[in-house]
Amino acid sequence: MTSPRVFVLIVAAGSGQRFGGDLPKQYQALAGKPLLRHCLETFSVHPGITGILVAINPDHRALYDRATAGLAHLLPPIAGGKSRQDSVLNGLERLAAEKPDLVLIHDAARPLIDAETISRSIAALSQHRAVLVAVPVVDTIKRGKNGRVGDTVDRRDLWRAQTPQAFHFADILAAHRRFAGRELTDDAALAEAAGIPVMFVLGSERNFKVTTQEDMERAERIMSGQMEFRTGNGFDVHKLIKGDGVTMCGVRIPCEFALEGHSDADVGLHALTDAVLGAIGAKDIGAHFPPSDPQWRGAASWKFLDHAAKLVKERGGRIAHCDVTIICEKPKVGPHRDAMVARVAEILGISADRVSVKATTTEKLGFTGRGEGIAAQATATVALPG
């Protein structure tokens, strides 16, 4: 089967006057290179990309040539328009001569786009007409008026849009032609207006838009590897009762008892969630998932750990390592250790060699020694921009 012809259109025609500095934002230095070059380098070496077109301000041509020297798969740049939407239409009209099957539209102000997000976007177009890279909203959202806090907005269905936004080429070109002159929020909104269903593709917290000097400093720290490491600890206990099995570190273990708790009482994941939250100074698990809230009754504890991991990503960080020790007389953890490691790694989105699960006993001493309950302690190491 022939691979699709995939082109990238990068919008870089802005003046960047609000950003400040002697140069337009896209040509200012980030980790020793023009900001624009960072995303171009990532796209130019991706095996799924056929060609790249950049929409620029013609007055910046000399800056563009210096920023892109030596890069592969670049077409001669196209002049941008008065608005972003005009620039995209100009670019799409130029790309029509290349006969693309698919097109990814990306903002130059997102320099930290990664190959995995690009691959996910291309793959998703094999099943969908249009896809939007986005990340779930994890902060509490409030509605307000005149400076006064109103009601809390349900964030479960809220996403923060990023780029690239990816489309079947003929579809998005027709949509841009149809709505030329109408200012819509982004290309996904334009596709929606044209009746094209747009699906989400998971993005990355690193793929943020550089809008302010603070954003540039954050990107600089990430690109320069200036990360600080923080460590958090967690501890949890649950009572043993009669039942048909326990869940520990995300793995169900059939046995003649159960763990008592408001959720599924996964003592290992509860301790690890607290460790991750502690590393980023985000209070404890009860502050995020109160036991008094009925929606968490019987909930799977992987959701708690997943939430903590998303908070780390929201801060531009990553989980470097985690270590869980389960303290109990029964059941035996050893036969399930590898499955536990794999499950924790899956939830956190890290490799299994960054996860440790151990077990010990208290030599028949205390409540764990008497088989009255199970305890767990955990340590998490998190890398955050310094």
Domain count, the chain: 2
* 51 and 112 belong to one structural domain: yes
* 217 and 338 belong to one structural domain: no
* 157 and 76 belong to one structural domain: yes
pLDDT at 101 over 80: yes
**Residue 1 within a domain:** no
Q: Quick one: pLDDT at residue 185?
A: 87
Question: pLDDT tens for residues 180-232?
Answer: 988 888 999 999 999 999 999 999 989 999 999 999 999 988 887 777 899 99
CATH number for the domain including 243?
3.30.1330.50
Q: Quick one: pLDDT at residue 18?
A: 67
C-alpha to C-alpha distance for 219 and 14, rounded to whole angstroms: 19
| 297-325 average pLDDT score | 91
C-alpha to C-alpha distance for 249 and 232, rounded to whole angstroms: 18
Q: Quick one: pLDDT at residue 17?
A: 63
Model-level pTM? 0.64
* 206 and 291 belong to one structural domain: no
Q: Angle at the Cα of 235 (from 231 to 238), degrees rounded to 5?
A: 155
Domain limit, last residue, from 203, 223, 243: 223
**Residue 172 within a domain:** yes
The proportion of the chain whose per-residue pLDDT surpasses 70, expressed as a percent, equals 98
Domain that holds residue 320: 227-385
* 236 and 182 belong to one structural domain: no
C-alpha to C-alpha distance for 200 and 161, rounded to whole angstroms: 9
Q: Quick one: pLDDT at residue 374?
A: 98
C-alpha to C-alpha distance for 140 and 134, rounded to whole angstroms: 17
Question: pLDDT tens for residues 64-75?
Answer: 999 999 888 999
* 131 and 253 belong to one structural domain: no
Task: Return the HEC string of the chain.
Answer: CCCCCEEEEEEECCCCCCCCCCCCHHHCEECCEEHHHHHHHHHHCCCCCCEEEEEECHHHHHHHHHHHCCCCCECCCEECCCCHHHHHHHHHHHHHHHCCCEEEEEECCCCCCCHHHHHHHHHHCCCCCEEEEEEECCCCEEEEECCEEEEEECCCCCEEEEEEEEEEHHHHHHHHHHCCCCCCCCHHHHHHHCCCCCEEEECCCCCCCCCCHHHHHHHHHHHCCCEEEEEEEEEEEEEEEECCEEEECCEEEECCEEEECCCCCCHHHHHHHHHHHHHCCCCCHHHHCCCCCHHHCCCCCHHHHHHHHHHHHHCCCEEEEEEEEEECCCCCCHHHHHHHHHHHHHHHCCCHHHEEEEEECCCCCHHHHCCCEEEEEEEEEEEEEC
* 150 and 263 belong to one structural domain: no
CATH number for the domain including 176?
3.90.550.10
